[in-house]
Amino acid sequence: MNKHEKQHSTQLEFAACTNNLGAARTTASALGGTLYWDPREQFSHLPFRALTTCITDDLNQLQDAADIGLYVVCRRIIKPGEPKYVGLFPLVHHPKLTHVQADAHWRDQHAPLTFEHHAAMSHYSQLSVVHRLSGPEIDGFALCGFDSLEDLRERFYSLPDSAKVIAADIQKFADTKKSPRRLVATVESFV
């Protein structure tokens, strides 16, 4: 077994999408969750600006932070770490694949590529949607973590051909036209 074939840590939790940053922060704080939020006002046209993740048995507490969507997700921790900033990429599966097929490619083929092509990345998790309770059809959320905004913006790719390699692989399992644009998110953990 090589370093990329190890068993990933997984856990089921809720992921709530909203544009209401105040509700997202209140919910994450009350439920001991994590808040990923994009502070850039000029990107308020994106489908959502904040994602709250948590474990809870009271869905009513998630309502205010889930006005855009609420999902049950399996968090796969590919590269452990505690990033300060995250490139958050919502994923819609490729139209020629099922959710299960796209998710398998994302987990088994794409995840190993991240070690070579995103060397500055200090954390990588895949939030695979196992059930959509409300909101747009999304198959997952990639959380590409970095220790600084400079690393996220300037050192996202490691090698000269990394952007091309990663884009070509993403096109194999994702619908790049239907997948919402990424958020450049600040991470606040209330765990």
For residue range 61-73, list pLDDT tens digits in order: 999 999 999 999 9
pLDDT of 8 > 80? The answer is: no
Name the 3-class secondary structure at 88. strand
Of the chain, the percentage scoring pLDDT greater than 70 comes to 94
pLDDT of residue 159: 92
pLDDT of 45 > 70? The answer is: no
Question: Mean pLDDT across the chain, nearest whole number?
Answer: 92
Would you place residue 41 in the very low, low, confident or very high pLDDT band (cuts 50, 70, 90)?
confident
How far apart CA 144 and CA 112 sit, in angstroms, is 13
CA nearest neighbour of 14 among 40, 34, 29, 44: 34
CATH of domain 9-189: 3.30.70.100
Name the 3-class secondary structure at 57. coil
Name the 3-class secondary structure at 154. helix
Reported as a single tens digit per residue, the pLDDT across 108-140 is 999 999 999 999 999 999 999 999 999 999 999
pLDDT of 4 > 50? The answer is: no
- The stretch 172-185 carries a mean pLDDT of 91
87: left (phi over 0), alpha (psi -120 to 50) or beta: beta
Q: Which tops the pLDDT comparison, 10 or 60? A: 60
How far apart CA 77 and CA 162 sit, in angstroms, is 22
Q: Domain extents for the chain?
A: 9-189
What is the residue-wise DSSP string for 55-124?
A: --S-GGGGGGG-SSEEEEEEEEEEE----SEEEEEEE-B-TTS-HHHHHHHIIIIIHHHHHHH-TT--EE
pLDDT of 168 > 70? The answer is: yes
pLDDT of 21 > 70? The answer is: yes
pLDDT of residue 126: 97
- The stretch 131-158 carries a mean pLDDT of 95
pLDDT of residue 2: 40
Q: Which residue type occupies 77? A: I
Q: Is residue 104 within 8 Å of residue 114, measured between CB atoms? A: no
Q: Is residue 87 within 8 Å of residue 182, measured between CB atoms? A: yes
Query: ∠130-11-118 over CA atoms, to 5°?
Result: 90
pLDDT of 6 > 70? The answer is: no
